[in-house]
Chain A
Amino acid sequence: MWEQIRSNVTRSIFIIVLMGALLLAIGYFIGFYLIGSAVAGLVIALIIWIIMSLVGYFQGGSILLGVSGARKISKQDYPQLFDVIEEMKIASNLPAMPDIYIIDDQALNAFSTGRDPAHASVAITSGLLQKLNRDELQGVMGHEVGHIKNRDILLMSMASVLLGSIVILAWIATRSLFFAGASPGGGRGRRGSGDGGGGIQIILVLIGLVLTILAPIFAQLMYFALSRRREYLADASSALYTRYPEGLALALEKLEVSPAPVKKVNKATAPMYIVNPFRKNNQSREAASPFGTHPPTADRIRILRAMGGNSYVDYEKAYEQVHRGQGIVPKSALSTGQTAT
C-alpha cells in the first residue's frame, strides 16, 4: 500500500511540473515578445514563482485560515472534537497534534492546511460540527488527517501558488499585448526577436498568444485534476485509520444534502475543502467532470459502501467495482481512478 501512495505522489508531482512548465512557457513568451529577451521573461516568471512559493510555504496555512475567518480552539472548548482528532493523530501516527480551528458558518464543510505533518491545521465549520455524530465526525477528521499524512496540504498550496502565478502572468501578458498593439512602441519586442521569416513569426506569435490566453484555464484544470486525485486517496486513508468507512459515508451523505454554500470561499481555496463548497444541490450526482474540484460525492459514498475491508487495497477494489458497474465513466475519471490504486 505504501507503493500506491508513492505512485500517486509521482503522478501529482508530474502535474505540478506540468504547471511549472506552463508558467515558465508564459514567462518565455512574455520575455520574447514584450521585453525582447526570452531569458529575462523566464527569470521574471521564476522569481514570481519562487516568491509566491515561499509565501505559500511559510504563510499559506495562516492566510487560508485567516481568509476563511477561522478561530483557533483548545481542548476545553470542544473536548469531543479535540479527542476525535487526537485519535486520528494516533491512528495515522502524525508527529504532532494539528491545530484545530472552527469557522462560524452554518455551511457544512471542513479542510486541512499547513506545510508538513508537524505544522498542520484542521478547520471545521460550526454547522458541520453540530450536524455530525461521533462516528461521522471521526470519518471526516480521518479524511482531513489523511490529507495531512499524505502531504496533500503542501502539494495543494504549492499548486495553488502556481495557479495564482500563471493567472497573474497571463493577465499581464494579455494586457500589455493589448496596449502594445495599440501604441507605436508595440513593434519593439518583435524587432528584438530577430529577422526570421514573417509567416513563421506570425504563427509563433499566435501560438504564444493562444497559449497565454488559455494558460489560466489549463492551469485550473490541472489544479482540479490534482485535487480530485487527492480526495479519493484521503477517503481511502480515512477508512484505513477509522476502520469504519460507513462513518465517512454517512457524513458525506449529510454534506451532500446540505444546501448552504460556505460564505468565505473563493476558487483558489475551494479544492481544500472536503466537499466542493460551491456545489449546487444536484451537482454532486453528475459524473466526474474536468471542471469539478472534487469527485462526485455520491460516487465517493458508493465506493466507501462497497469496501470489503478497510485497507487501501479494499478501497481500490471498491473503486473498480463501482466504476465498472456504472459503465459510463468519462476518461478523466478513469485517469483519476488509477491514483487510488
Chain B
Amino acid sequence: MIALWIVLGIIVLLLFFFIAIYNGLVGLRNQVKNAWAQIDVQLKRRYDLIPNLVETVKGYAKHEREVFEQVTVARTAAQGAANAGPAARGQAEGGLSQALGRLFAVAEAYPELKANQNFLALQEELTSTENKISFSRQFYNDTVLRYNNQTQMFPSNIVAGMAGFKASEFFEVTVPEEKNPVKVSFT
C-alpha cells in the first residue's frame, strides 16, 4: 500500500515538473515571437522611409542614379524576403543596409543637401530606425539564446523533444563585404 502511494507521489511530482518546464518553454517561445515582431516593425519602418529619402536626395544629386537604383533594388529584395526565416532575411537586410550606407556617403558630397531640414530629419529618423533594428536584434538574439539553451539543456530538453519545441534561428544582418550595419554619424 505504502509503495503504491510512493509511486503515485513520484508520478504526480514528475507531472508537476513536466508542466512547469513545458510552461516555461511556451513562455520563452512567445518571448522569441514577440521579440521577432519588434524587429519586423522596425524593418518595415525602414522600407517606408526609403522612398522619401531617395526623393529628397534626388532633388540635389540627380546624377547619382546608380546609387538610387541600388537602394531601390535592395529595398525590393528585402521586402520580398519579408516572410522568410530570420537567417535568410538577415542577408536581404544586409544588402539594404549596405546600399543605404552608399547613399549617405554620396550625400556627404552635397553641402546644400546636408543643410536641408527635411534631409536632416529623415537622416535622424533613419539612423534611429537602424539603431532600433540593431537594438531589437540584440534583444531578439539574447532571447533566442535563452530559449535555445532551454530546449537543449537537460532536463528541459526531454520536455522540449516530447512537445516538439525546436531551436530558433538567430537574426544576423550580414552585409556582403563588411559586417557592421550602417552607422551614420552626425556630430
Contacts and interface: CB of A to CB of B under 8 A. Distances in A.
A83 interface: yes
A90 interface: yes
A134 B139 contact: no
B124 A79 contact: yes
Contact of A87 (B35, B121, B128, B186): B128
Given A86-B132, A133-B187, A91 B139 contact: yes
Q: Is the interface of A mostly helix, strand, loop or mixed?
A: helix
A149 B61 CA distance: 45
The range of chain A's interface size is 10 to 19
B139 A90 contact: yes
B176 to A, nearest CB: 23
Most B CB within 10 A of own CB, among A87, A134, A138, A241: A87
B124 A241 contact: no
A17 to B, nearest CB: 30
Given A79-B121, A133-B187, A93 B128 contact: no
A243 B138 contact: yes
Contacts of A84: 128
Interface string B124-141: 110110011001101100
A335 interface: no
Contacts of B132: 86-87, 90
A80 interface: yes
Nearest to A133: B187
A80 B122 CA distance: 11
A313 to B, nearest CB: 14
Interface in A120-149: 133-134, 138
A243 B142 CA distance: 13
Interface in B138-152: 138-139
Nearest to A1: B142
Contacts of B38: 90
A84 B139 CA distance: 16
B135 A134 contact: no
The range of chain B's interface size is 10 to 19
B135 A90 contact: yes
Contacts of B128: 80, 83-84, 86-87
Given A79-B124, A80-B124, A83-B128, A91 B135 contact: yes
A5 to B, nearest CB: 14
Contacts of B131: 83, 87, 138
Nearest to B146: A2
A102 B103 CA distance: 34
A42 B81 CA distance: 67
A223 to B, nearest CB: 33
B121 A241 contact: no
A241 B134 CA distance: 11
A51 B186 CA distance: 49
Given A80-B124, A90-B38, A134 B138 contact: no
A92 B139 CA distance: 7
Interface string A54-94: 00000000000000000000000001100110111011110
A90 B136 contact: yes
Interface in B144-187: 185-187
Most A CB within 10 A of own CB, among B35, B121, B125, B138: B138
Most A CB within 10 A of own CB, among B121, B132, B135, B139: B135
Contacts of B135: 87-88, 90-91, 241
Interface of A: 79-80, 83-84, 86-88, 90-93, 133-134, 138, 241, 243
18 contacts: A79-B124, A79-B125, A83-B124, A83-B128, A86-B132, A87-B131, A87-B135, A90-B42, A90-B132, A90-B139, A92-B139, A93-B35, A133-B187, A134-B127, A134-B186, A134-B187, A241-B135, A241-B138
Given A87-B135, A133-B187, 7 more contacts: A83-B127, A87-B131, A87-B132, A90-B38, A91-B135, A93-B139, A134-B127
